[in-house]
């Protein structure tokens, strides 16, 4: 129940706070900081502090607030926050299940604490590779951190010197500009005085100086030249604005005035605007849609890319070539793989998986599966050993990625069409991950297979969301159902399904507003949309580049839907975007599928 969960959660927070307080009394952790920080510490997710530098305690106990409000709430997307009088930055060390935290006075508004936290995290991650991170932190991490402090102090000194130099340069430029202005004004004043005093040539120098002083004092130090003669048009003042509001002073505009202001009719450029819009639409279709005779990406044959295993000794060896060669040296006599002999190779495999953004739990499971399948196998030659490991790894990954349900959405849409039903898909996710763009790609795919698609705009909050979908709908030549902004998304989705049934549409794609996974109000709103309309498919759209944070987002969406939907509905499938930004770090795909079991 919720009550028992809250009790357990408070007890967990108290346990972590007591662990942190108890560990903080260690004498080895009492050293002070040279940087303007309050505290830097490394602790386990259970709350046990392994290393600390700075004040023994902080006012208001922000560490307990951090654990309770952020870490236990699984707010993976947030890595900095202001808690009380302190600004906290934290990073996760997934290799050893540790957390690195830096705390600084919030009033100082330091902009480099996040960089320091990243640097400490890298040093701790390097220690984690040795397998004895706890002993290394307690015994030898102080000199490492001292080096980081000196490095950041040097950076700050360089920054301060640069800022001081920039300030002095600005002052010098300002003074030089002021001097040039003063000289120009003095020269102009002298020229004016000479011109004015041409008729007073017999005036003595003392009288001329008194007259100049009197002129400057009366003008406030500014030069007053001769006033140029103006014609009658310049003497006329500014004409008042006529608002044409129907009052006695500003009467309504006449029909002739209204016609002169009209720019949309025969006298305007409506035809030119429509022609420009048509040209832009054709350019969009030519850019994004397949031309006649051109093969779509999903119809092209996929090519499996494997690592190059060249026999050239000068060529750099791949991970398989380097570690399988060591493995063959170990089993040259027995020709049979044992658990002890493959452990070093599996350790390197686990490290490689972690480097590819695979979660720790998933990396351990995949490594264990590969090891179990290799024990007892016989090795005949080098090529065979490499093939064995590749096949074992491919089989383990395939077991994780093999879906429990059909992923052929097109077939499901066609089945619903034969039964006279309208198939509906809802796209959910956080802000900016590409829900609307992914929805439009699915619409294009279905339309190319002769499916009558309709798009529903249920993002009634974000400015421009409806217009974005309208552009996609025009480009794809599909119908867009929208009710504008500030409407209940559940009601809009329900009205669109009724309209689609009446219009005999085959499939409805429902776009929703982006929301953070920890926003309880917006998650209830999303659960209402799913619960009221019971879509055939709920797809979670996430970014491949966020790594393990995407797992936190997916878990929170799943929990919220299961909690707030009356039928316990959860995510049916995953759509990952922005793969072109992550190179080969595709581990989020494996981790998210492993955690949810969904394709």
79-106 pLDDT per residue, tens: 888 888 888 898 888 888 889 999 988 8
CATH architecture of 2-152: 2-Layer Sandwich (3.30)
Taking CA atoms, 62 is separated from 76, 97, 136, 307, in Å, by 18, 21, 27, 49
Spatial contact of 395 and 591, defined as CB atoms under 8 Å apart = no
Helices (H), 405-463: 409-418, 435-448
Per-residue model confidence (pLDDT) at position 82: 87
Quick one: DSSP state of residue 199?
Answer: G
Q: What is the pLDDT of residue 76?
A: 53
| pLDDT for residue 213 | 65
Dist CA 595 CA 551 (whole Å): 8
Burial 78-98 (b: 16+ CB within 10 A, else e): ebebebeebbbbbbbbbbbeb
Cβ burial 471-509 (10 Å sphere, 16+ → b, else e): bbbebbebbbbbbeeeeebbbbbeebbebbeeeebbbbb
Q: Is 98 helix (H, G, I), strand (E, B) or coil?
A: strand
**Rg of the chain taking only CA atoms, in angstroms:** 36
pLDDT of residue 315: 44
Tokens found for residue 216: 């400057």
Q: Mapping DSSP to helix (H, G, I), strand (E, B) and coil, where does residue 319 land?
A: helix
Per-residue pLDDT of the chain (599 residues; tens, 9 = 90+): 444 445 455 555 555 555 544 444 443 344 566 678 888 989 887 778 888 888 878 887 888 888 877 777 655 556 888 888 888 898 888 888 889 999 988 888 888 888 889 899 888 888 888 777 888 888 888 888 888 888 888 888 888 888 888 888 888 888 888 888 888 888 888 877 776 665 555 556 666 666 666 655 555 544 444 445 455 445 556 666 666 655 555 666 777 777 776 665 555 566 767 777 778 778 777 777 777 666 666 666 666 555 544 444 444 445 545 555 555 555 544 467 788 878 888 888 888 888 888 888 888 888 988 888 888 877 665 446 667 778 888 888 888 888 877 888 999 999 999 999 999 999 999 999 999 999 999 999 999 999 999 999 999 988 889 999 999 999 999 999 999 988 899 999 999 999 999 999 999 999 999 998 888 899 999 999 999 999 999 999 998 877 667 788 888 898 999 888 888 889 999 999 988 887 778 888 888 888 888 88
Q: Show the beta-strand stretches assigned E in 348-402.
A: none
User: How many angstroms separate the CA atoms of 366 and 395, rounded?
Assistant: 10
For domain 409-596, give its CATH number from 3.40.50.300, 1.10.10.10, 3.40.50.2300, 3.90.75.20: 3.40.50.300
Domain boundaries, the chain: 2-152, 327-401, 409-596
- 499 and 457 in contact (C-beta within 8 Å)? no
pLDDT in tens, 152-204: 888 888 888 888 888 888 888 888 888 888 888 888 888 777 766 655 555 56
Q: Residue 25: what pLDDT?
A: 40
Provide the pLDDT for residue 332.
47
What is residue 251's predicted lDDT score, i.e. its pLDDT? 64
Quote the pLDDT of residue 125: 86
Say what the pLDDT of residue 435 is. 93
Residue 316, number of CB atoms within 10 A of its CB: 9
The CATH number of domain 327-401, selected from 1.20.120.140, 1.10.10.10, 3.40.630.10, 1.10.10.1100? 1.20.120.140
Question: Rounded to whole angstroms, how far apart are CA atoms 220 and 332?
Answer: 100
Nearest to 320 by CA among 332, 334, 310, 333: 310
pLDDT of res. 226: 47
């Amino acid at each position: 129940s919720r009550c028992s969960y809250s009790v357990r959660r408070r007890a967990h927070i108290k346990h972590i706070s007591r662990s942190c307080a108890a560990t903080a009394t260690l004498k080895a952790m009492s050293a002070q900081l040279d940087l303007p920080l309050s505290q830097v510490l490394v602790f386990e997710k259970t709350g046990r502090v392994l290393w600390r530098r700075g004040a023994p305690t902080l006012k208001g106990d922000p560490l307990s607030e951090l654990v309770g409000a952020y870490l236990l709430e699984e707010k993976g997307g947030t890595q900095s926050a202001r808690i009380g009088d302190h600004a906290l930055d934290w990073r996760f060390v997934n290799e050893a299940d540790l957390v690195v935290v830096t705390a600084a006075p919030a009033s100082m508004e330091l902009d480099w604490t996040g960089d320091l936290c990243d640097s400490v995290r890298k040093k701790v991650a390097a220690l984690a590779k040795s397998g004895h991170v706890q002993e290394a932190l307690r015994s030898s991490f102080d000199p490492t951190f001292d080096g980081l402090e000196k490095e950041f102090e040097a950076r700050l000194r360089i920054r301060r010197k640069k800022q001081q130099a920039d300030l002095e340069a600005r002052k010098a430029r300002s003074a030089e500009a002021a001097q040039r202005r003063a000289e120009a004004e003095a020269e102009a004043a002298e020229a004016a005085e000479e011109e004015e005093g041409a008729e007073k040539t017999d005036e003595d120098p003392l009288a001329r100086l008194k007259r100049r002083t009197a002129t400057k004092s009366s003008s406030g130090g500014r030069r007053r030249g001769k006033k140029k003669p103006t014609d009658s048009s310049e003497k006329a003042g500014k004409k008042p604005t006529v608002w044409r509001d129907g009052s006695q002073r500003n009467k309504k505009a006449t029909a002739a005035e209204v016609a002169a202001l009209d720019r949309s009719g025969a006298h305007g450029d409506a035809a030119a605007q429509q022609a420009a819009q048509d040209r832009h639409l054709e350019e969009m279709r030519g850019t994004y849609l397949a031309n006649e005779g051109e093969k779509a990406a999903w119809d092209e044959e996929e090519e499996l890319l494997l690592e190059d295993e060249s026999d050239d000794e000068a060529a750099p060896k791949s991970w398989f070539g380097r570690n399988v060669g060591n493995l063959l040296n170990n089993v040259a006599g027995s020709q049979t793989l044992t658990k002890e002999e493959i452990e070093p190779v599996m350790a390197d495999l686990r490290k490689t998986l972690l480097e590819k953004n695979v979660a720790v739990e998933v990396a351990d499971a995949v490594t264990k599966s590969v090891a179990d399948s290799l024990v007892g196998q016989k090795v005949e030659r080098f090529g065979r050993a490499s093939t064995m490991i590749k096949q074992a790894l491919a089989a383990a990954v395939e077991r994780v990625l093999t879906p429990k349900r059909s992923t052929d959405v097109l077939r499901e849409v066609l089945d619903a069409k034969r039964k006279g039903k309208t198939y509906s898909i809802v796209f959910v996710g956080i802000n900016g991950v590409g829900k609307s763009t992914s929805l439009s790609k699915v619409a294009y795919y279905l339309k190319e297979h002769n499916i009558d698609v309709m798009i529903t705009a249920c993002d009634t909050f974000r400015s421009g969301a409806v217009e974005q979908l309208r552009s996609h709908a025009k480009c794809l030549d599909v119908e867009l159902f929208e009710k504008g902004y500030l409407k209940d998304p559940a009601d809009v989705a329900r009205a669109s399904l009724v309209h689609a049934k009446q219009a005999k549409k085959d499939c409805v794609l429902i776009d929703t507003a982006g929301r953070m996974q920890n926003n309880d109000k917006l998650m209830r709103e999303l659960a209402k949309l799913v619960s009221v309309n019971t879509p055939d498919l709920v797809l979670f759209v996430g970014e491949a580049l966020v790594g393990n944070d995407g797992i936190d987002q997916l878990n929170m969406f799943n929990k919220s839907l299961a909690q707030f939907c009356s039928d316990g509905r959860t995510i049916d499938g995953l759509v990952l975007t922005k793969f072109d930004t992550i190179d080969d770090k595709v581990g989020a795909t494996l981790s998210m599928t492993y955690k949810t079991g969904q394709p």
